[in-house]
Amino acid sequence: MIDYLIVGCGLAGISFAEVALANDKNILVLSDESQNSSKIAGGLYNPVILKRFSEVWQAQEQLELMNQFYAHLKLKIPVTVDFKKPILRKFFSIEEQNNWFAASDKPALAPFLSNTIITKKYVGIDSPFDYGEVLHTGYVDTASLLEQYKSYLIKEQFLLQETFDYQALEILSDGIRYKHIEAKHIIFAEGFGLHANPFFNHLPLDGTKGELFIIKAPDLDLDVIVNTSVFILPLGDGLFKVGATYNWKDKTDLPTEEGKQELVERIKEIINCDFEIVSHFAGVRPTVRDRRPIVGTHPSSNSIHVLNGLGTRGVMLGPAMAKALFENIEKGVPLSKEINSSRFVKRKS
């Protein structure tokens, strides 16, 4: 009998896999790669919600665990996936500058917002009101991370590549049986695929579609991430990742003309040079209306668990939420009411 069967190999699934392995647990990850939001994610980590100049929930704790997580991954995968890079918020007025300084004086935000205006001029961007710099930021190459981690799982014989059959899951007195596999616990980390899960489809997981570009802009000289209504992330060789849109109605992962036009218009608000769209892709983020993850245990079985709802901040949230769930299962450490899936039990009844 293994300790954990993990269904899903996105950011949530590999975060839990790493926590379990670090604690000498036996795991098997099952995935058919049907959910691609982690692969196409922007991958930015940023402790500040720049739209409202407010702190990300538990930002300091999440950053510390995230840094430990990606540092440890260097021992397992042969490429760098975590890139420390400043995020600059372009100002469009003196009023926005003043709002930035007011926010940077708040105790919760002071560690993350520089009170020094960045006046550097980047070729290809008009910035008459300059920039504010967010500290402790960067991005994770999520596509490379998932590809390399999958290779690691295959090498260690920890990966089963197939579509999960819910009808084949049996609940035992001391765990679960799935076909020929017996495990003490099963972790469902399926992203938007949770809607097909009969154990947890009562949870109010929403899907927020996001569309992104890779553009080529040879005349844009940028070595930092610029964030306004969209982010522009330099990839090298004149290539930039740009995103993202937010669509709460369309639940497909197909790029749309509407999304394309929205991104083009927003890019033109930021840069003043020509660009070419190299690729256009989309995915559905697993989001929750109260903006908190869904973490916890099924009310009818102590062996069935959920780790989901990481939304747009999966690279930051994943390690912290995986640790919280693992410690809840193994040590009885209570889950925060803000993330516990039990907060939706009344909805089920």
Structure tokens at 230: 């969209």
Residue type, position 107, single letter:
P
Q: Find residue 226's DSSP bridge partners.
A: 88, 232
Superfamily of domain 84-138+206-286: D-Amino Acid Oxidase, subunit A, domain 2 (3.30.9.10)
Q: What would the mean pLDDT of 268-288 be, rounded to a whole number?
A: 94
Q: Find residue 229's DSSP bridge partners.
A: none
Better pLDDT: 153 or 313: 153
Structure tokens at 297: 């245990």
For the chain, the structural domain boundaries read: 2-41+143-205+290-348, 84-138+206-286
Phi–psi pair at 240, nearest 5 degrees: -140, 140
Spatial separation of the C-alpha atoms in residues 313 and 228, rounded to whole Å: 17
Name the 3-class secondary structure at 324.
helix
pLDDT for res 292: 94
- Residue 40 reports pLDDT greater than 80: no
43: alpha, beta or left? (left if phi > 0; alpha if psi -120 to 50): left
- The answer to which of 38-47, 183-192, 278-287, 315-324 has the lowest mean pLDDT is 38-47
Spatial separation of the C-alpha atoms in residues 338 and 349, rounded to whole Å: 20
Q: What would the mean pLDDT of 47-68 be, rounded to a whole number?
A: 92
Closest to 132 measured CA to CA, from 180, 107, 96, 79: 96
Superfamily of domain 2-41+143-205+290-348: FAD/NAD(P)-binding domain (3.50.50.60)
pLDDT for res 52: 82
- Residue 346 reports pLDDT greater than 70: no
Name the 3-class secondary structure at 41.
coil
Give 286's Cβ-side CA count (13 Å radius).
31
Spatial separation of the C-alpha atoms in residues 339 and 295, rounded to whole Å: 6
Structure tokens at 163: 């579509």
Q: What pTM did the predictor assign?
A: 0.93
Instruction: Tell me which DSSP letter residue 125 carries.
Output: B
- Residue 220 reports pLDDT greater than 60: yes
Mean pLDDT score across all residues of the chain: 93
Question: What are the pLDDT digits (tens) for 225-250?
Answer: 999 989 999 999 999 999 999 998 99
Band (pLDDT 50/70/90 cuts) for residue 39 is: low
Beta carbons within 10 angstroms of residue 271's beta carbon: 22
Question: What are the pLDDT digits (tens) for 2-13?
Answer: 999 999 999 999
Spatial separation of the C-alpha atoms in residues 18 and 20, rounded to whole Å: 5
